[in-house]
C-alpha cells in the first residue's frame, strides 16, 4: 500500500516535471518564425517511416547502424514493459499481464531480454568507440564538456537499465521455479541457487525499482540532452523540407522591391515594412521554427562535420557546432524568459515576453564570422544528417543578415558584388561576354 | 539569340554560357567544345551573347539577395521575351539556379546540364565515338560537382558519357553523394579560404591523384580551376590532366 502511494507520487511527479520541460522546449522552438509546411503529406510520412523509424540514413555505415538499431529497438520495445510496471506499481499487483497473456507474455519478455543483451553489446561497443578508439568526430572542440559527458552518461544509464532488468527477471524466475520461462533469465537464475527467499524478494524489488527509477530519470533528463532525438527525430523528419536542396528560400520582399524598380508588375500586395527591415537571421527568433526544431533534434553525432570540406581542412566551421549553438541560444533565451527579469525586456514599460525580448545578445555571440564565411554550400552536411537536419540553411540566413542588414561580410566579395551590379558578370572584364566566339 | 529572333527562327536549345564559360580562359575552351559538339550533331542552338548576365548564384549564396534578384529578374525578362523553353548549360551552378530558383521568380524552363545532353545525344546515336580513340584504356577519375551531384542528384549521366570513351573509370573514395567539394561553391571561388590547415582543392586533388588516373574529368568550370590548381600545387600537372566532359567527347567523336 505504502509502496503504491510512493510509486504513484514518483510517477506523477516525474511526468509533471518532464512535461513542464517539454513545454518549455516547445515554447523555445516556437520562438522561431512561422514557416508554411508545403508539399505532399504522404511523402512526409514516407520520410518518417524510412528515416526516423527505419533509420535509413544510418545504414550508410553498417556497423554503427546495426549497433544503434539494437539500442533503439530495445529501448522502444522495453517501453511496452513500462505499461505493466505502471499497472503493478499503482495497484500493487505482480506481473499483472502474466495471467491473462500466459505464453505470449513470456514471449514478449523474452524478446525484450534478447534485445537487451544486444543493446548491452552495442552500448559497450559505443563506449569503447567514444572513449578508447576516440573517433575524431566525437572529439571536436564543440564536444568538450557537457556534450561528451551527456553521450557517456546515457550509455552508462543504459547499462544500469539492462542490469536492473536482468536482476529483476532472474531473481523473480528463481522465486517462481522458472515458471515464466524468460529466454535469457532462465540461464541467469541458477546464480541465485542457495539464496534465501527473502533476499530474493529484496533483489527482485531492487531490480524493479531500479529499472523504473532509471526510466523516470531518463524521461526527466531527455529535455537537457542530445537524446531528445529519440522523440524529435519523428517530427523533424516529418517537417523536413521537400523542396529541392538547390533552392534557397526566396525573399519576396526583396524580389518585389527589385521588380518594382524594373517596372515589373508585383503580384503580392504585402506591404514592405520599410522602417524595420531586417533580412536574414541573427538570432533564434529570426530563424524559422523548423531551424530551431532541427537544433533540438540534433544527435550531436557529427556525421555532418565529418564530411564538411571546410572542417576537414582545418577551418573553424563545423555544421554540428552551428546546430548546437542554435539550441544553446534557444535555451538561453528560454531561461531568460523564465527568469522574468525585466532587464531583458526590449520595451521596459511592457512585460517581458517572447516578442518583447532583447538581452543584447545574438547568435553572432556564439558563431564567428569566419565560420559562416567558410561554407561552400556543398550540402554534404545536409546529405549526411541521419535525422534530416539542414545545417546549411541557418548558415545562409546568417550570411544574409551580415550582408543585407549589417552591410558587412568578406571584403573580397565586394569587387564581385560591384562587378555584378555594374556589368552583370562576376569579374570586371574589358572584353565582351561573347568575345570567345571570335576564334570558334 | 537576338539575330535568330529577328529572322523569326527558333533554336532547338538555348546554350547558357555563364560567366566562367564567357570570360575564363580555361572554361572558354569548354564553351567552344560544346559549340563544336552541337554543330557536329546539327542541333540548332543560340546564345544570349551580351544579353546574358550572371545567374546570380554566387551573390545569392554570399547572402546578397538584392544583387541576386537584380540579375535574375533581368535574365528572366530576356529569356521570357525570347520565349525560351529549353536551356543547356555547362555550369552546374547556373544549372541549379535556372532550374530550381528561377521558377519562384517567374522563370520556368526545361534546364539540362551539358552532361545530360551529351548522354542523350550519345544514346540517340547522334554522337558517334571513333574506334580506339585517344582515351581508350586510359584511367579516368570523375569528380562529382556538388551542384550537379548531391544537390540535383545527377550522378549517372556524366558517368555514362565517360563510359562511351572506352576508358577505364576509377572512382575516388568519396564519390557520388559522398563526393568532396572542390572548394569553390558558395562564392568561395571569389575569396581566399578561411584560416585552416589546408586548401580544400588540395585535399580533393590529393584524393584524385591517389586513384592513379591520368585524367580527372569534371563537369563544372570552377571545379576545373580548383582541381587544376590543386594538381599543380602537387606538381603533377604534366602527368595528370583535368578536362571537362565536353572536351573529352569532342576529342573522341566522329565529326
Ligand atoms: S554545406 Fe557548408 S557546412 Fe555543410 S558540409 Fe558543406 S561546407 Fe560544410
Ligand atoms: S546535424 Fe545531423 S549529422 Fe550533424 S551532428 Fe546533428 S544529427 Fe548529426
Half-sphere exposure of B185 (CA within 13 A, CB side): 30
Task: Report the C-alpha gap between B159 and B155 in whole angstroms.
Answer: 7
- The predicted model gives A261-278 an average pLDDT of 69
pLDDT band per the 50, 70, 90 thresholds, residue B255: confident
Are A374 and B193 within 8 A, CB to CB?
yes
- Sequence-distant (6+) residues with CB within 8 A of A347 are A356
Last residue of a domain, one of B97, B118, B139: B118
Do B133 and B248 lie in one domain? The reply is yes
B245, B161 Cβ separation under 8 angstroms: yes
Ligand nearest to the CA of A394: 1
A317 interfacial to chain B (CB closer than 8 Å): yes
pLDDT band per the 50, 70, 90 thresholds, residue A271: low
- The predicted model gives B94-116 an average pLDDT of 98
Q: Enumerate the residues of chain B whose CB falls inside 8 A of the CB of residue A310.
A: 194, 196, 200
Do B136 and B237 lie in one domain? The reply is yes
Out of B60, B187, B196, the one facing A248 most closely (by C-beta) is B60
Task: Report the C-alpha gap between A85 and A93 in whole angstroms.
Answer: 9
Do B133 and B106 lie in one domain? The reply is no
Question: How do residues B204-245 score in pLDDT, each as one tens digit?
Answer: 999 999 999 999 999 999 999 999 999 999 999 999 999 999
Task: State the angle between helix axes of A319-339 and A289-297 in degrees (0 to 180), rounded to the nearest 10.
Answer: 110
Distance from CA of B137 to the nearest CA of A (A): 30
CATH number for B109: 3.40.50.1860
Question: Closest by alpha carbon to B31, among A428, A435, A431?
Answer: A435
- For B177, the closest chain A residue by CA position comes to A383
pLDDT band per the 50, 70, 90 thresholds, residue A439: confident
- Sequence-distant (6+) residues with CB within 8 A of B244 are B29, B30, B33, B90, B217, B218, B219, B221, B224
Question: How do residues B7-57 score in pLDDT, each as one tens digit?
Answer: 888 999 999 999 999 999 999 999 999 999 999 999 999 999 999 999 999
- The predicted model gives A200-218 an average pLDDT of 94
3-class DSSP state of B139: strand
Residue B123, in any domain of the structure: no
Last residue of a domain, one of B118, B148, B169: B118
Task: Report the C-alpha gap between A64 and B34 in whole angstroms.
Answer: 45
Do B71 and B137 lie in one domain? The reply is no
pLDDT of A275 strictly over 60:
no
Do B67 and B164 lie in one domain? The reply is no
Residue B106, in any domain of the structure: yes
Residue B167, in any domain of the structure: yes
Cβ of A293 closer than 6 Å to ligand 2, yes or no, is: no
Task: Report the C-alpha gap between A116 and A81 in whole angstroms.
Answer: 12
Do B185 and B152 lie in one domain? The reply is yes
Question: How do residues B124-182 score in pLDDT, each as one tens digit?
Answer: 999 998 887 788 889 999 999 999 999 999 999 999 999 999 899 999 999 999 999 99
Percentage above 90 pLDDT, chain A = 82
Burial of A158 (0-12, 13-18, 19+ CB in 10 A): buried
Residue B124, in any domain of the structure: no
A400, A281 Cβ separation under 8 angstroms: yes
A191 interfacial to chain B (CB closer than 8 Å): no
A412 interfacial to chain B (CB closer than 8 Å): yes
Ligand nearest to the CA of A384: 2
Residue B186, in any domain of the structure: yes
Do B248 and B217 lie in one domain? The reply is yes
In the block, which residue shows the cell 544553446? A328
Do B170 and B234 lie in one domain? The reply is yes
Question: How do residues A149-191 score in pLDDT, each as one tens digit?
Answer: 999 999 999 999 999 999 999 999 999 988 898 999 999 999 9
Element (H, E) at A323: helix A319-339
Do B136 and B109 lie in one domain? The reply is no
Atom of ligand 1 nearest to the CA of A304: 5
Last residue of a domain, one of B118, B150, B165: B118
Residues 93-132 of A with CB under 8 A from B: none
Ligand nearest to the CA of A307: 1
C-alpha cell at B35: 559549340
Do B20 and B102 lie in one domain? The reply is yes
Distance from CA of B69 to the nearest CA of A (A): 6
Q: Enumerate the residues of chain A whose CB falls inside 8 A of the CB of residue B204.
A: 309
CATH number for B170: 3.40.50
Q: Which domain holds residue B202?
A: 129-252
Task: Report the C-alpha gap between A293 and A46 in whole angstroms.
Answer: 19
Task: Report the C-alpha gap between B246 and B30 in whole angstroms.
Answer: 6
Residue B90, in any domain of the structure: yes
Question: Closest by alpha carbon to A151, among A56, A69, A229?
Answer: A229
pLDDT of A277 strictly over 80:
no
- For A435, the closest chain B residue by CA position comes to B22
Question: Closest by alpha carbon to A295, among A403, A395, A405, A153?
Answer: A395
pLDDT at A270: 56
A326 interfacial to chain B (CB closer than 8 Å): no
Do B159 and B87 lie in one domain? The reply is no
Half-sphere exposure of A268 (CA within 13 A, CB side): 13
3-class DSSP state of B251: helix
Residue B172, in any domain of the structure: yes
CA separation, residue A48 to residues A41, A55, B31, B139 (Å): 11, 9, 44, 42
pLDDT at A150: 93
Compute the distance from residue A61 Cα to the ligand 2 centre, in Å: 15
- The predicted model gives A10-17 an average pLDDT of 96
Question: Ligand 2 pocket: which of A323, A324, A381 to mutate (most atoms <8 Å of CB)?
Answer: A323
In the block, which residue shows the cell 528560400? A249
| pTM score of the predicted model | 0.94
pLDDT of A268 strictly over 80:
no
Count of domains observed in chain B: 2
- Sequence-distant (6+) residues with CB within 8 A of A386 are A51, A55, A57, A58, A299, A301, A303
Cβ of A316 closer than 6 Å to ligand 1, yes or no, is: no
In the block, which residue shows the cell 548522354? B119
Question: Closest by alpha carbon to B96, among B79, B83, B82, B109?
Answer: B109
Do B102 and B136 lie in one domain? The reply is no
pLDDT at A273: 52
Residue B207, in any domain of the structure: yes
- Sequence-distant (6+) residues with CB within 8 A of A217 are A157
pLDDT at A269: 56
In the block, which residue shows the cell 562576376? A426
Task: Report the C-alpha gap between A316 and B209 in whole angstroms.
Answer: 26
Question: Closest by alpha carbon to B218, among B151, B153, B146?
Answer: B146
Amino acid at each position: 500500500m505504502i509502496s503504491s502511494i510512493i510509486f504513484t507520487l514518483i510517477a506523477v511527479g516525474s511526468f509533471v516535471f518532464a512535461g513542464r520541460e517539454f513545454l518549455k522546449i516547445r515554447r523555445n522552438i516556437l520562438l522561431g518564425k512561422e514557416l508554411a509546411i508545403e508539399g505532399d503529406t504522404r511523402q512526409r510520412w514516407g520520410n518518417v517511416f524510412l528515416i526516423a523509424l527505419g533509420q535509413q540514413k544510418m545504414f550508410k555505415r553498417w556497423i554503427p547502424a546495426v549497433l544503434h538499431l539494437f539500442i533503439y529497438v530495445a529501448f522502444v520495445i522495453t517501453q511496452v514493459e513500462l505499461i505493466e510496471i505502471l499497472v503493478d506499481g499503482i495497484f500493487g499487483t505482480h506481473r499483472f499481464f502474466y495471467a491473462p497473456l500466459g505464453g505470449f507474455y513470456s514471449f514478449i519478455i523474452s524478446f525484450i531480454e534478447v534485445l537487451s543483451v544486444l543493446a548491452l553489446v552495442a552500448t559497450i561497443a559505443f563506449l569503447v568507440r567514444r572513449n578508447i578508439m576516440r573517433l575524431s568526430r566525437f572529439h571536436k572542440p564543440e564536444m568538450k564538456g557537457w556534450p561528451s559527458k551527456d553521450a557517456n552518461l546515457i550509455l552508462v544509464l543504459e547499462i544500469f537499465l539492462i542490469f536492473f532488468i536482468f536482476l529483476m527477471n532472474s531473481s523473480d524466475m528463481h522465486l517462481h521455479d522458472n515458471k515464466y520461462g524468460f529466454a535469457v533469465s532462465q540461464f541467469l537464475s541458477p546464480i541465485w541457487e542457495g539464496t534465501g527467499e527473502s533476499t530474493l524478494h529484496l533483489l527482485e524489488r531492487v531490480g524493479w525499482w531500479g529499472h523504473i527509477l532509471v526510466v523516470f530519470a531518463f524521461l526527466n533528463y531527455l529535455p537537457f540532452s542530445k537524446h531528445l532525438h529519440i522523440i524529435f527525430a519523428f517530427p523533424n523528419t516529418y517537417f523536413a523540407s521537400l523542396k529541392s536542396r538547390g533552392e534557397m528560400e526566396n525573399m519576396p520582399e526583396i524580389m518585389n522591391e527589385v521588380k518594382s524598380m524594373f517596372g515589373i508588375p508585383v503580384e503580392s500586395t504585402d506591404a514592405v515594412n520599410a522602417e524595420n527591415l531586417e533580412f536574414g537571421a541573427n538570432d533564434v527568433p529570426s530563424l524559422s521554427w523548423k531551424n530551431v526544431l532541427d537544433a533540438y533534434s540534433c544527435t550531436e553525432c557529427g556525421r555532418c562535420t565529418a564530411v564538411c570540406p571546410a572542417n576537414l581542412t582545418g577551418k573553424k566551421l563545423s555544421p554540428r557546432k552551428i546546430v548546437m549553438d542554435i539550441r544553446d541560444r534557444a535555451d538561453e533565451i528560454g531561461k531568460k524568459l523564465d527568469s522574468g527579469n525585466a532587464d531583458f525586456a526590449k520595451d521596459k514599460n511592457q512585460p517581458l515576453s517572447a516578442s518583447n525580448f532583447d538581452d543584447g545578445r545574438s547568435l553572432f555571440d556564439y558563431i564567428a564570422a569566419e565560420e559562416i564565411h567558410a561554407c561552400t554550400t556543398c550540402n554534404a552536411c545536409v546529405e549526411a544528417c541521419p535525422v534530416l537536419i539542414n545545417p546549411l540553411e541557418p548558415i545562409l540566413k546568417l550570411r544574409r543578415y551580415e550582408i543585407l542588414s549589417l552591410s558587412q561580410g568578406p571584403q573580397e566579395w565586394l569587387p564581385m558584388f560591384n562587378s555584378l551590379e555594374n556589368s552583370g558578370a562576376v569579374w570586371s572584364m574589358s572584353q565582351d561576354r561573347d568575345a570567345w566566339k571570335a576564334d570558334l | 539569340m537576338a539575330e535568330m529572333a529577328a529572322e523569326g527562327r527558333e533554336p532547338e536549345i538555348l546554350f547558357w554560357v555563364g560567366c566562367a564559360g564567357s570570360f575564363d580562359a580555361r572554361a572558354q575552351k569548354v564553351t567552344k567544345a560544346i559549340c563544336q559538339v552541337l554543330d557536329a550533331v546539327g542541333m540548332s542552338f543560340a546564345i544570349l551573347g551580351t544579353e546574358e548576365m550572371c545567374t546570380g548564384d554566387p551573390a545569392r549564396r554570399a547572402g546578397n539577395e538584392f544583387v541576386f534578384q537584380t540579375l535574375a529578374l533581368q535574365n528572366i525578362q530576356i529569356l521570357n521575351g525570347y520565349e525560351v523553353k529549353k536551356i543547356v548549360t555547362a555550369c552546374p551552378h547556373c544549372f541549379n539556379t535556372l532550374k530550381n530558383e528561377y521558377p519562384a521568380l517567374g522563370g520556368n524552363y526545361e534546364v539540362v546540364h551539358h552532361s545530360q545532353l551529351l548522354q542523350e545525344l550519345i544514346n540517340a546515336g547522334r554522337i558517334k565515338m571513333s574506334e580506339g580513340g585517344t582515351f581508350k584504356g586510359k584511367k579516368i577519375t570523375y569528380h562529382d560537382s556538388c551542384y550537379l551531384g548531391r544537390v540535383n542528384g545527377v550522378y549517372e549521366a556524366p558517368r555514362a558519357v565517360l563510359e562511351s570513351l572506352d576508358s577505364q573509370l576509377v572512382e575516388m573514395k568519396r564519390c557520388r553523394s559522398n563526393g568532396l567539394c572542390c572548394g569553390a561553391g558558395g562564392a568561395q571561388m571569389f575569396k581566399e579560404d578561411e584560416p585552416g590547415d589546408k586548401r580544400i582543392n588540395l585535399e580533393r586533388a590529393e584524393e584524385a591523384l591517389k586513384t592513379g588516373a591520368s585524367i580527372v574529368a569534371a563537369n563544372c568550370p570552377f571545379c576545373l580551376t580548383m582541381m587544376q590548381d590543386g594538381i599543380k600545387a602537387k606538381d603533377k600537372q604534366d602527368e595528370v590532366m583535368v578536362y571537362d566532359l565536353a572536351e573529352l567527347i569532342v576529342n573522341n567523336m566522329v565529326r
